[in-house]
Amino acid sequence: MRTIGGALARGALAMAGRRSPWGGGEDKGSGSGDESGEDGGQQPPSDPGRGPRNPWLPPGDNTRRSANIEDIFKAREQRKTGGGGPGRPGGGMPRMPSRPDGKSWLPLMIGAAALLWLGVSSVHMVGPKEEGTVTTFGKYARTIGPGISLTLPWPIQAVQVNDVTSIQRYAIPEGEGEKLMLTSDQNLVDLSYLVRWNIKNLRDYRFRLADPEETVREVAEAAMRSTLAEITLDDALSGAGRARAEQGVRERMQRILDAYQSGVAVQGVEIKKADPPTKVIGAFQQVTAAQQDAERDRSNARAWAQQLLARAQGDAAAFDKVYAEYRLAPEVTRRRMYYETMERVLSNNEKVIVESNGVTPYLPLSEVRRRPVAPAPADATAAAQAPSAGVTP
């Protein structure tokens, strides 16, 4: 079977005008020493130096010989490591294509990369709200404003741009956390507030502090605790006291940051919430209700005192008028005042005194007046109402 298959393969190659990749020659399996073509003639034996090479031989070996096991492994290792082959003597790297004039493209590529690097690292665009700091080998050189600026390329000079106009906001504490602070009357208050600030000196902001943003946050907390330690709990919870605390915190923060030369301007501090601690909020509400009741009672007392004072002032004014009239006519005024006083005193008196001769000085008219009237007898009443029978007028 193998002999027939080999003969068919050789016949197909002969019909196609090609010779076997393994070289022509006698078929050792058939036992004949020559090949016959289509015309039945004899073909010359194949030349060992011509024809396709053995693919199992190492690259560079063009001899027509059978490959052994060592050649196979050697060829495989050379292909893995990029070894030599046809057109690649010694297994070197492939060459870059050349320009039409035969020169290399490498110098042009290096020049284009250098120009791109110069353009990117030397031309800087700064926005209208921004400023940039230029450093030469890491040391501050100058500050550039909005617009297009030119510097030396990196790594000689570098530019860092910051927003110096926009207002930045920090909420303390972050999230829903609890921030307890102590007031001057030894009370705790749960406080949350907002700090607004911006950059006023970019050089100081970048080179004076290691972490400017964290410094602003810590200074705000320290200033708030110091300010609350000087006011009472009622001032911290009320509107007027809260406004004074906000102003005090802002001024204290600005003094500290200016002493640090931080380049930061504090725009304002706003207290968002000031409540008692969560654990004592019930008791605090009771105290607040009691204080409100006490304030209501004090308001009522002040109103009653004002009414009495107004009444006393009115009586004093009336007395002054009477006294002025008395000074003009003392006797007449004295008698009129006597009559008015006796009338006021005796208006509800039940005693009647009559100053006349022949009259009993004391008449119990009040007892007579209070004594109930006895009802008349029924027969007398009927006799009085009906005409007498049998009496002729």
**For 318-367, what is each residue's pLDDT tens digit?**
888 888 888 888 888 888 888 888 888 877 776 666 666 766 666 566 66
CA 313 centroid distance within chain: 61
Read off the tokens for 239.
């509107």
User: Does residue 173 have a cis peptide bond before it, meaning omega lies within 30 degrees of 0?
Assistant: yes
- Does 230 have pLDDT greater than 80? yes
pLDDT band at 1 (very low <50, low <70, confident <90, very high): very low
Type of residue numbered 46: S
Read off the DSSP letter of residue 85.
B
Percent with pLDDT over 70 in the chain: 65
- Does 101 have pLDDT greater than 50? yes
pLDDT mean over 234-249: 86
Give the number of other CB atoms < 10 A from CB of residue 199. Answer: 20
Would you kindly state where each structural domain of the chain is located, as residue ranges?
Answer: 1-20+47-78, 122-163, 168-275
Answer for the pair 253, 223: CB distance below 8 angstroms, yes or no: yes
Q: Indicate the pTM of the whole model.
A: 0.49
**For 150-174, what is each residue's pLDDT tens digit?**
888 888 888 888 888 889 998 988 8
| CATH fold label, 168-275 | Tetrahydropterin Synthase; Chain A (3.30.479)
**Where do the H-state alpha helices sit in the chain?**
2-15, 69-80, 106-122, 202-207, 212-228, 233-237, 239-260, 281-328, 330-346, 365-370, 378-385
**Whole-angstrom distance, CA of residue 241 vs CA of residue 244:** 5
